[in-house]
Amino acid sequence: MRRAFSSILLLGLSSFATAVFQDEVDDIDFHHSLFGVPQAETTFFHRPRKDDKASLLYTLGDVGVFGAVNPSNGEIVWRHQISTDTTIGGGHFRAPEDEDWVAAAHGSTIQAWNALTGRNSWHANFAGEVKDLEILEVTETGRKDVLALSDEDGVTVLRRLHGKLGTVVWEFREQNKDIPLQVSTNIANIYVISLHGSPSSYSLKITSLDTLTGSRVNDWTVGTKGEVHGPQDVMFVGANSAAPLLAWTDSSLSKLSVHVLGTKGKQEIALGAETTGVVIHAPHLTQSLPHFLVHTKTATGGKGEVYHTNLKNGQISRAYELPHLKGENAFSTSSEGANVYFTRITEDEILITSSESPAVLQRWPLAASSHIKPRHAVSEVIKKPGGEEFAIRSAVTTVSDDWTLVRNGNIDWSRPEGLSGSVGAVWAELPETESLAKALEEEAHTNPLDAYIHRVNRHINDLKYLPAWIQSIPTRLIDSLSGETHRDTSLHRDSFGFNKVIVLATRRGRVYGLSTANAGKVIWSANVFPQPEGQSFELKGLVAKGGESSVVTLQGSKGEVADINAITGEVLRVVTSGSSIESTATIQGENGVWLLALDPSGKPVGEFPNGVVPKETIVVRGEGEVIKGVRFDAGEDGAAAQQTEVWQLQLLPGQRVVEVAVRPSHDPVASIGRVLGDRNVNYKYLNTNTIVVAVLSDDDSVLSIRLVDTVSGQILASQSYDGVDGSKDVSCAISENWYTCSFFGQYLLNDGSGQTIKGYQIISTDLYESSAPNDRGPLGDSANFSSLNPVDSPTQAPLPFVVSQGFVAIQPLTSLSVTQTRQGITGRQVLAYMPESHAVVGIPRQALDPRRPVGRDPTAAEMEAEGLMKYWPSLEIDPRSIVSHERDVIGINNIVAAPAIVESTTLVVAYGVDVFGTRVAPSGVFDILGKGFNKFTLILTVLALFGGVIFLSPMVRRSQINKLWGE
Amino acid sequence: MADSKKALASTPSWVAQLESPLQAKAKPSSIPDPPGFSGGSGNKKGGKDAKDKPRKQPTDEEMDTLKLKKAWEVALAPIKALPMTAIMMYMSGNSLQIFSIMMVFMAFKNPLMGLVNTNQAFERFQNESISGQMIQVKLVYVACQLVALAVGVWKINAMGLLPTTTSDWLMWEAQRNSIDFAATAL
């Protein structure tokens, strides 16, 4: 009996490291590698090789990922993160004309990268935040240098950095209280623009510097009459052109003030009455004509006006106007030699004009099916040799946060960049084939006899599908034999349960539906909570209702609630109450689960559905560093529900909660005990009402990991670790009867040498009912328990027996999570993101087993029964256990697992900047025939055997008769 | 005559062979007998002597003693085979293989069959006069079979097939449920 059991275990062990096979890539997994929504000022076409006409498309997205995209197919050439964390907009990204490098800056770092390979050529770090980055195109050496403007606590610093080496050529410092804004160059000078004065009446201060030495040549101020209130109000265009501009509008958007750098004074352009926004487009090259376009947006559409700058006296004059068109409009500038082309992209066509004349040079209609609503775009216009024909390709950022390349009016590719910056994801079940689900439900609610008759009738009814089914057999057989899999991309449940919908909410308030049935493609997206500029949607709760409804409920921090159909993306309900929401709890109600929203003081917001007061103890964060348990009791005769505080976990001063790990919602336990090598049983401590709270005390850097009973608030187990770095990520996960945490700390060796080991540690703790085998602890065989009830034995509280062990990992492991399978029989894996390798790893639980014997080899029985290996302090991460294999997965914040119908497999989605989804089988896919199973050979073998029997049986019969008869 | 000849001709060869079997093959004269070997016909002298003496019929008492002796042999046979079985079982190991499975099967089948067929085993020794002693013999026989069975049980216990430990009954033990519920809003 036990042997059979352990042989199953052994089966699990044999596939201890299940690697992803090459033919499974893109079949079981998918990956959206993203940049974030491209920002207008950091997106451009650039030729990475001087002597090659081919150009790449570069961008720095709003989540801080920059890199190059092949414009012909939309595939990433290279990609890097500008900072270790996800950014919210900002950053600088520039490319020098005809050079093979690009420069990027964020925070205090400036980096230069090879434009073709994405290899780093240099990086520099200075005090203060980089405010602007510009390329010095014309220098005395013929080399191109980088200009970096930084703000070091009120000191404006401009550095010229060597373009090839990153060394400082010269430095300009100015000690004043001005706010540095921009740096620009024209052929003669470098201009530093800063805001001067007080916030109520800023004036623009322009300092011109000598290119060669960085010494001040001149400075002047331009009054703004209180129209500029901060850095965001100043528009600045044409950084390296012959006539760079500064522009700003007044608060009522009635006029636009323009200052041409290098001249004195400003010029005003009157704007229309309905103007809602102004954008200025100008070429970035010194050889381009000094023309610029003012794009005036209105509520219904937009128009463009082209102005020419007279280089001699700095006067601007209106050349022509592009008429007002309805719908979303985007303009972009491209230059070829001295010519400047303005491209206008509307919802139904693309047209290009020269900056010289209003005549439309060429126009391409856009197919109505393309649904492009442009927000901003970059374009590359090429005049075809020997003719008036033009070729154009535009990378358009659309209103729906997609990044689409339109070439001559056709859509070449589209990247769902809006998927980046996701803040929450949930797995939603697909509906079963409708009729069957309904029929089964009907049968479940009638008495057995009726149900039986109904079923028989149903099966007789089903007979009419039999001929069609029989007809389909040959094709299915051939498909099955040839190994061709017709992926069923319809949104219906498959028999393995692999097809599900991932509902993903992003910080831009947009919600996406991805289907695993067709390789993680976006099946719908909806801008459920449109966010104003500069604000992020803060997700507080996201839950799938479950059952047959496939409805997903979202709860935002500002009281926004939405119900969305996960299959169609239909927004069923959006309510914005405006009350601030601190947290939400998932409550199991009568009709599926619902979200209970709580305000910062821990009081429920809104009514309870059907007036049913939740019976659960709700664990909330109190004011300050407190965790408390709250209960609701129904008030008498319709009075409001009473809220009672049941317990409080108060921390000492200087301590803070750095991580709370909650059990996954689906966490079944297959066996309540653990069979040891000697056939004894250690009973698992299975208390579902437990959470892991990691408390860090900043004064002495002690991390205390506590297991807290959520009903009574009792601390059931606690471990302390010294020398933990609080600035680094602490991540925990809890499942079944164990929990695990990873952090960076230093470990004091207990060999008396006083040596410490610094490193990323992962600790693993098992909880058992009792230290003695075959003992169920003080509660014995009682069928249920309450954490609030006293125990008869006065000396023993039902505390778990704790076995804990620590391991040193070679790199940080963040976003810990545990795989979930349908019945919990399959072994578990700890899923983690490795930010230094850009990989998602599944560490087998056996590797993190705290019962691994220390200082001795495990006995054969231990190895067989428990799968124990000898303890080794360093946790080697087997490359085969990296579920993201060679994919470069960036910026993962969270990993969510969900069970499939087959026991062996867990569905996993990791999100953050990128979205990566895969299927993980911790004990191997023992319940599915793999692709390697050769059905053809099997059938051939059976046929050969059958043929052999047919052929041999007369021979055998004859020889038997002959034998009987003698010769 | 002609008819019978015809009939003879029509008889199948096997009838003819049956009716007139082939003569025993004549000894090839070319091969001499080995020294000391006298052919079948030459050995008649000794046989003659034995035949001459008429066999003395054993008395009833002698028969009973003989039967009892034989019965005891039968009764103790299982235990005599036991050391051999035990050694083989020990040698075959505790893993689940075809040999050990077959051995275990035999170790159970033989004693059980023996027990079922106790009366048949001693049927030929049965006699009114020794029926009292036969019961003793049968009891010993049953005891021996039980010992053989015990060896089989010992074997399957060693193989871990007997549900004797807590781990074997684990699946019938229920998980202890909490009567309280909690939800987290963190």
Contact indicator for A7, A28 with CB cutoff of 8 Å: no
Residues of chain B neighbouring A680 (CB-CB closer than 8 A): 165-167
Give A199's DSSP letter. Answer: T
The residues pairing with A669 across neighbouring beta strands, listed in sequence order, are: none
The residues pairing with A349 across neighbouring beta strands, listed in sequence order, are: A365
At residue A505 the predicted structure's pLDDT band, cuts being 50, 70 and 90, is very high
Angstroms from B45 CA to nearest CA on chain A: 39
Q: A713: nearest CA in chain B?
A: B182
Burial of A610 (0-12, 13-18, 19+ CB in 10 A): exposed
Give A636's DSSP letter. Answer: G
Looking up tokens 């150009």, which residue turns up? A55
Contact indicator for B138, B121 with CB cutoff of 8 Å: no
CA-to-CA separations, A603 to A582, A713, B58, in angstroms, rounded: 10, 19, 109
Secondary structure (3-state) at A660: strand
- DSSP annotation string for A442-461: HHHTS-HHHHHHHHHHHHHH
- A679, B160: Cβ pair inside 8 Å? yes
Phi/psi for B171 (5° steps) reads: -70, -15
Secondary structure (3-state) at A67: strand
pLDDT at B177: 87
Q: A693: nearest CA in chain B?
A: B186
Arithmetic mean of pLDDT, A886-901:
93
Of the candidate ranges A14-18, A27-31, A185-189, the one whose mean pLDDT is the lowest: A14-18
Angstroms from B180 CA to nearest CA on chain A: 6
Angstroms from A941 CA to nearest CA on chain B: 26
CB nearest B178 (choices: A3, A671, A786): A786
Arithmetic mean of pLDDT, A765-784:
86
Q: What is the ipTM for the molecules in this complex?
A: 0.76
pLDDT at A282: 87
Arithmetic mean of pLDDT, A212-234:
82
Angstroms from A231 CA to nearest CA on chain B: 37
d(CA A194, CA A183): 9
d(CA A698, CA A656): 8
Q: How far apart are the first and last CA of chain A?
A: 55
Angle between helices B60-92 and B131-158 (to 10 degrees): 0
d(CA A217, CA A190): 9
CB nearest B182 (choices: A669, A671, A710): A710
pLDDT at B1: 45
d(CA A5, CA A675): 10
Q: Which candidate in B14, B18, B100, B178 is best for mutational testing of the A interface (most A CBs within 10 A)?
A: B178
SS3 content of chain B, % helix, strand, coil (to 5): 70, 5, 30
Q: A626: nearest CA in chain B?
A: B186
Contact indicator for A702, A724 with CB cutoff of 8 Å: yes
Give A822's DSSP letter. Answer: S
Residues of chain A neighbouring B184 (CB-CB closer than 8 A): 585, 618-619, 660, 662, 691, 710
- A784, B181: Cβ pair inside 8 Å? no
Burial of A399 (0-12, 13-18, 19+ CB in 10 A): middle
CA nearest A566: which of A516, A518, A505, A503? A503
CA-to-CA separations, A811 to A167, A237, A747, in angstroms, rounded: 32, 44, 16
CB nearest B185 (choices: A596, A688, A781): A596
CA nearest A236: which of A185, A177, A196? A185
Looking up tokens 């809890």, which residue turns up? A734
d(CA A648, CA A651): 9
Residue A240 has pLDDT above 80, yes or no: no
Q: pLDDT, tens digit, for every residue of A82-138?
A: 888 888 888 899 998 888 999 999 989 999 999 999 999 999 999 889 999 988 887
Q: Which candidate in B157, B169, B180, B181 is best for mutational testing of the A interface (most A CBs within 10 A)?
A: B180
CA-to-CA separations, A922 to A11, A30, A106, A324, in angstroms, rounded: 11, 19, 40, 60
Give A619's DSSP letter. Answer: E
Which residue type does B176 have? R
CB nearest A711 (choices: B167, B168, B182): B182
At residue A433 the predicted structure's pLDDT band, cuts being 50, 70 and 90, is low
Q: Count residue pairs from A and B with Cβ separation < 8 A.
A: 118
CA A32 from centre of chain? 9
Contact indicator for A88, A536 with CB cutoff of 8 Å: yes
pLDDT at A488: 63
At residue A2 the predicted structure's pLDDT band, cuts being 50, 70 and 90, is very low
Contact indicator for A229, A202 with CB cutoff of 8 Å: yes
- A680, B166: Cβ pair inside 8 Å? yes
Percent of chain A scored above 90 by pLDDT?
40
- B166, A673: Cβ pair inside 8 Å? yes
- DSSP annotation string for A313-352: T--EEEEEEEEEEES--EEEEEEETTEEEEEEE-SSEEEE
Residues of chain B neighbouring A784 (CB-CB closer than 8 A): 176-179
Q: pLDDT, tens digit, for every residue of A609-629?
A: 777 788 889 999 888 889 999
pLDDT at A552: 92
**Structural tokens at position A768:** 């058992």
Residue A11 has pLDDT above 70, yes or no: no
Q: pLDDT, tens digit, for every residue of A244-298?
A: 888 888 878 888 888 888 777 788 888 888 888 888 888 888 788 888 899 988 8
CB nearest A679 (choices: B167, B180, B185): B167
Q: pLDDT, tens digit, for every residue of A799-813?
A: 899 999 999 998 999
- DSSP annotation string for A572-610: EEEEE------EEEEEEETTEEEEEEE-TTSPBPSPPGG
Angstroms from A790 CA to nearest CA on chain B: 14
d(CA A231, CA A235): 9
Arithmetic mean of pLDDT, A47-56:
87
Q: Which candidate in B17, B101, B155, B186 is best for mutational testing of the A interface (most A CBs within 10 A)?
A: B186
Q: Enumerate residue ranges in chain B where pLDDT < 70.
A: 1-9, 22-29, 38-54
Q: pLDDT, tens digit, for every residue of A368-416?
A: 777 788 999 999 988 888 777 889 999 999 999 999 999 988 899 999 9
Contacts of A737 (CB under 8 A, 6+ apart): A669, A684, A685, A686, A766, A767, A768, A800
CA nearest A658: which of A703, A716, A600? A703
CA nearest A281: which of A337, A330, A348, A211? A330
CA-to-CA separations, B108 to A240, A505, B21, in angstroms, rounded: 97, 66, 49
Residues of chain B neighbouring A862 (CB-CB closer than 8 A): none
Angstroms from A586 CA to nearest CA on chain B: 7
Residue A8 has pLDDT above 50, yes or no: no
Q: B180: nearest CA in chain A?
A: A786
CB nearest A615 (choices: B14, B177, B181): B181
Helices (H) and strands (E) in chain A, counts: 6, 64
- B167, A2: Cβ pair inside 8 Å? yes
**Structural tokens at position A522:** 């976006």
Contact indicator for A248, A268 with CB cutoff of 8 Å: no
Residue A790 has pLDDT above 80, yes or no: no
Q: B168: nearest CA in chain A?
A: A2
Residues of chain A neighbouring B13 (CB-CB closer than 8 A): none
